[in-house]
Structure 1
Amino acid sequence: MSGVAPWIAAQAQRLLAQRGHALLLQGPSGLGQYTLALALARAWLCEQPSPAGACGACESCHAIEVRTHADLAVLMPETAMMALGWPLSEKAQAEIDDKKRKPSREIRIEAMRDAIEFAQRTSGRGRGKVVLVYPAERMNAFTANALLKTLEEPPGDARFVLASEAAHQLLPTIRSRCMAHTMAWPGEPDAVRWLQEQGVAATDVAPLLRAAGGRPEDALAYSRAGIDARRWAALPQAMARGDVGAIAGWTPAQAVDGLLKLCHDLMAAGCGAAPRFFEAKDLPPAPSQAALGGWSRELAATFRTVEHPFNAGLLFEALVSRARSALHSGLNR
């Protein structure tokens, strides 16, 4: 399975040997749920598959590569589809182009109804049909309930692969209708090698992998956002100074995630434990546990709404101001 990380290829090979019409790939972000889901869809629809997966050379594989396969339906929030290069429906694209609405951050009920109708049609290439849902936790209650009946009584040649980074948010009735697969964590040598193959500088690989908690795709996302080892190491002291420029170019989600990790490591340091995401030498003096606890709760609340269309500049200023306040509150001397 060329071009796919070795730990993803190994999981795909195991899953292809199993039966079942609905599969749920679950685990934290950065482990490759979407990549694995797409690899499975390629193999299921491939005209010349092998036990290792899709051939990568047939018309079916090419059609998936150019996002035009007639037997593959991709269900994602419109923001994710646009980011990953999947075309929207003509109606949805027209509404967005005409400024009637913004791209949805949830999987819309209209898209789910279209996918259910798609699953009931005859396969165009004779290899069955596949519905890929990612991130599955972005289905709201109405969208998830619309899928239940089809998951329980699927058309004969349709398969469903749901990929989630927060499977606990799915309806229990959705989870119970799927064969669950928990994503494997790659070994550090594989992750390091893969990140270097993706163009991450050798000096940045280990620090970014640490910053991402060992999740290689999250480490790659940091690198592509312009976050290198130097910027990551400088973050704690920059927050203590109130330097908003330290998070310039980050997404709001990356900024809040970085501050949550800083808060975690300061809590650990305050209890005499080793930090997980930063080097101990890069951390400022640990504030009181009470101050860190309050800051952590505020950051967690912010993270739940971080994708709302806030003014990013104002949000960053508020985040950094609160960080500076927390880092200077009740310092343990």
Structure 2
Amino acid sequence: MNELIVGEDGTLPLPWLAEPLAQALNTHRGHALLVHAAPGVGALAFAMVLAQAWLCEGRGSGAQALPRPCGRCGSCRLVQSHLHPDLTVLLPESLRREHGWPLPDDKTDGDDSKRKPSRQIRIDEVRLLIERSTRTSARGQGKVGLLHPAEVLNLQSANALLKTLEEPAAGTRLLLTTADPSTLLPTVRSRCQLLRLPAPAPALAVQWLLAQGVADADAAQVLLAASGGRPLDALALQQAGIDARAWAALPAAVAAGHAGALAGWPIPRAVDALQKLCHDAMARAAGGPAVYFPTAGVPARAALPALQAWAAELRRVARHDEHPWSEALLIEALVGSASQALAAPVTAAAGPGAPRSSTRPAAHGAGQGLDTLSP
């Protein structure tokens, strides 16, 4: 699975990586780089391609250097086969399985394969990276350690990494990614140069989504808005069977109390969609446009106090989205709460400029169904 790196044809896995990749290759000379990017923009692909470029034997040097890995040299072929001896990729176990980048101690059969994969980068994995960094480079281009995302380093593994971040072995570069630098230990952040990876321009993102099989430009724009401008998340919606039409129809279905509109959705995705609908309903109630859904489809006159109570309830559920819920019951409760909040009436204003308010607070009504399902 080479969707994260440059193949033999020299094509980048994501077209919007070209400019930040050239910037990083031209300007970042430090031994530790922290890539800050929103989820769904391609931080892992960027980090993988940058690591491949650092190890590439065909890029050349100086003014003649290629702005990306060549994809054809021996080093690039080793990266493509996931066997480069000078590249250590640390991902949470769940991502290692998804992308095919196992570590030597990973088990693939027996009872251990049935356990839930870890979502952390653990201390023994960091120790493996440290040990590999002390070895002599096998191909003479240095060594690279990649950690994605850095926020899943637990406290012990983050502390174990600090000395290597500050004083790595000769020829070693470390590459970390994060969606939120503030979640990292200050001692980790302070040892890294920061590079921000922006979301692509909408036109480029739409063009890429069309190439991935999205029906047309209008559908691509709906999915891109649904994902906050993050094209990988937009494609994930499409691949999950949530096309532009289904997304646009969701506000009316939820407002009508139709839980079937979210049937089969994973709880984190359902909660995320409802939070976006709640945001847009509050924007509409305040007189602004929707952001995540087509504006015309979002109820515009729900009472702000009811929407605020619903938002608080959704935040509470989001904190426990890994709890072993009864999914069907939780979806039903979530949609019931949403329907009540979106239908909460607004009293007539007392006078010009007076704020609108609900005839009932709806805070209890919106939360009662969910309270019975609390973890």
Q: CA deviation at 1:98?
A: 5.2
Residue number among 76, 81, 87 corresponding to 1:61 in the alignment: 76
Give the 5 Å matches for 1:138-287: 138-202=152-216, 203-287=218-302
Give a deviation string over 1:283-313, Cα, whole Å, max 9, x none. Answer: 1344221221122122223333324554544
Task: Give the corresponding residue for 2:150.
Answer: 136
Q: CA deviation at 1:195?
A: 1.2
> How many aligned positions are there?
332
Query: What SS does the corresponding residue of 1:238 show, helix, strand or coil?
Result: helix
Sort the Cα spacing of 1:114 and 1:317 in 2 relative to 1 into closer, same or farther, 3 A: farther
Aligned mates of 2:166, 2:324 — CA distance in 1: 37
Q: Give the alignment's Cα RMSD to 1 decimal.
A: 2.1
The amino acid across from 2:186 in the alignment is P
Q: CA deviation at 1:206?
A: 1.0
Task: Give the corresponding residue for 1:51.
Answer: 66
Q: Which segment drifts farther, 169-178 or 61-70?
A: 61-70
Task: Give the corresponding residue for 2:116.
Answer: 102
Q: Contact between 2:12 and 2:18, CA under 8 Å: does it hold in 1?
A: no
Give the 5 Å matches for 1:296-307: 296-307=311-322
The amino acid across from 2:206 in the alignment is V
Sort the Cα spacing of 1:250 and 1:67 in 2 relative to 1 into closer, same or farther, 3 A: farther
Sort the Cα spacing of 1:242 and 1:96 in 2 relative to 1 into closer, same or farther, 3 A: farther
Task: Give the corresponding residue for 1:8.
Answer: 17
The amino acid across from 2:159 in the alignment is N
Sort the Cα spacing of 1:88 and 1:256 in 2 relative to 1 into closer, same or farther, 3 A: farther
| Structure exhibiting the larger radius of gyration computed from Cα positions | 2
Q: Contact between 1:16 and 1:51, CA under 8 Å: does it hold in 2?
A: no
Aligned mates of 1:244, 1:58 — CA distance in 2: 54
Give the 5 Å matches for 1:286-325: 286-325=301-340
Sort the Cα spacing of 1:190 and 1:215 in 2 relative to 1 into closer, same or farther, 3 A: same
Aligned mates of 1:139, 1:286 — CA distance in 2: 44
Q: Which segment drifts farther, 169-178 or 279-288?
A: 279-288
Aligned mates of 1:254, 1:279 — CA distance in 2: 19
Sort the Cα spacing of 1:242 and 1:82 in 2 relative to 1 into closer, same or farther, 3 A: farther
TM-score by length of 1: 0.92
Name the structure, 1 or 2, with higher relative contact order (CA <8 Å, separation 6+): 1
Q: Contact between 2:281 and 2:342, CA under 8 Å: does it hold in 1?
A: no
Sort the Cα spacing of 1:154 and 1:286 in 2 relative to 1 into closer, same or farther, 3 A: farther
Q: Contact between 1:25 and 1:183, CA under 8 Å: does it hold in 2?
A: yes
Aligned mates of 2:224, 2:189 — CA distance in 1: 30
The amino acid across from 2:120 in the alignment is E
The amino acid across from 2:172 in the alignment is A
Q: CA deviation at 1:67?
A: 1.9
Q: Contact between 2:263 and 2:328, CA under 8 Å: does it hold in 1?
A: no
Q: Contact between 1:192 and 1:206, CA under 8 Å: does it hold in 2?
A: yes
Q: Structure 1 residue 76 and structure 2 residue 88: aligned?
A: no
TM-score by length of 2: 0.82
Q: Contact between 1:21 and 1:160, CA under 8 Å: does it hold in 2?
A: yes
Residue number among 127, 130, 142 corresponding to 1:113 in the alignment: 127
Task: Give the corresponding residue for 1:33.
Answer: 43
Give a deviation string over 1:110-151, Cα, whole Å, max 9, x none. Answer: 211211212222222221111111111111222211111110
Sort the Cα spacing of 1:171 and 1:300 in 2 relative to 1 into closer, same or farther, 3 A: same
The amino acid across from 2:37 in the alignment is G
Query: What SS does the corresponding residue of 2:253 show, helix, strand or coil?
Result: helix
Give structure 1 stretches of 5+ with no counterpart: none
Identity of aligned residues (%): 46
Aligned mates of 2:260, 2:344 — CA distance in 1: 22
Give a deviation string over 1:44-85, Cα, whole Å, max 9, x none. Answer: 111212431101112322222232222211111111111222
Aligned mates of 2:50, 2:77 — CA distance in 1: 15
Give a deviation string over 1:207-254, Cα, whole Å, max 9, x none. Answer: 101111111111111111111111101111121233232223433322
Give structure 2 stretches of 5+ with no counterpart: 1-9, 60-64, 349-375
Q: CA deviation at 1:201?
A: 1.8
Query: What SS does the corresponding residue of 1:24 show, helix, strand or coil?
Result: strand
Q: Contact between 1:21 and 1:159, CA under 8 Å: does it hold in 2?
A: yes
